[in-house]
Amino acid sequence: MVVSMTGYGKAILSNEQYKIHIEMKAVNHRYLESIVRMPRQLLAYEDSIKKIVSEYTSRGRVEVFVTIEGLLQRTLQIDEGLIKQYKEAIENLAVGESIYNPIDLLKLPEVTTVSEVEQINDNFEQLLVTTTKNACEQFFESKCKEGSQLKKDLLERLSAIEECKKQITEQAPLVIKSHREKLLAKLADVELANVDEQRLLTEVMIFADRCDISEELVRLASHLELFSETLELKESIGRKLDFIVQEMNREVNTIGSKANSLEISKQVVEIKNNLEKIREQVQNIE
């Protein structure tokens, strides 16, 4: 199963007291790294949120943004004794009628204070957990959707590589035949009437052994099959696919260095081009 490491999800839930909004997004990362950004009053719930996230993803750098309404209850307090002292001081300075305004008194230093009281209870924790799970489900769904597009592209490129491998398999025997014909042509040029057939055969066999790519083609076919099978596994497959691509590159490089053929070289270049695209796509897979 192909799941992308990148994704996005969000959820909003509320009850009579709270409204919780959670957004999450992810980018590529070698391992799972969860970063939770939320009010400092909720730091005790950070590990719980990270644990839920880990149930929906195994790789990637995941950022979770938590905003909450109704978490704090604010209370206004007025220091009436201090106001009285301010009034008396103003009246002592005033000539005639009082010059103070009640609203202005409230603006004086330390007359008013606003206190915040956290409103956290069991209902809040349950709502936070449910909202987190809802966001994670949408997040996972977006990762799967993108993963299906990645899989489609990978399968198309695998098919292209299979076609190139087929062409190489057909061309490989012709390389030896061509080499034998070239040897005979050279011998004809120097007008050697008596050709040592055994020596000619030995020379051809040495060349054939040196440019034999049958083992590499078998291993490449095996890697292609393994890659296709791995795409269907219901687990994290990104690292495994990356390793298989490395092995395919190794076989293709050997084929390119051993096969003494322009046609085979063209197919090798095409395979390497597709493998590079596959490697880039695999970096996005969880």
How confident is the model over 150-167, as pLDDT tens digits? 999 999 999 999 999 999
Could you list the pLDDT tens digit for every one of the 286 residues in the chain?
899 999 999 999 988 888 899 999 999 998 999 999 998 888 889 999 999 999 999 999 999 999 988 776 666 677 777 777 777 777 776 555 555 666 776 677 776 776 555 667 778 889 999 999 999 999 999 999 999 999 999 999 999 999 999 999 888 776 666 555 565 555 555 555 555 566 655 655 555 556 678 888 999 999 999 999 999 998 899 999 999 999 999 999 988 887 777 888 899 999 999 999 999 999 999 9
Other Cβ atoms less than 10 A from the Cβ of 80: the count is 9
State the pairing for strand pair 72-78/112-118.
antiparallel
| Per-residue pLDDT tens digits for 175-221 | 666 555 565 555 555 555 555 566 655 655 555 556 678 888 999 99
Please state the separation of Cα 158 from the chain's center in Å: 21
Q: What are the φ/ψ torsions at residue 23 (nearest 5 degrees)? A: -125, 145
User: Token match 């969860």: residue?
Assistant: 34
- 51 token code pair: 């644990």
pTM here is 0.72
Distance CA 179, CA 193 (A): 20
Rg of the chain in Å (alpha carbons) = 37
User: Token match 């083609």: residue?
Assistant: 217
Distances (CA, A) of 191 to 31, 89, 177, 178: 69, 130, 21, 20
For residue 28, the SS3 value is: coil
Residue 198, pLDDT score: 60
For residue 53, the SS3 value is: helix
- 49 token code pair: 């949120």
User: Token match 């890697």: residue?
Assistant: 223
Residue 158, pLDDT score: 96
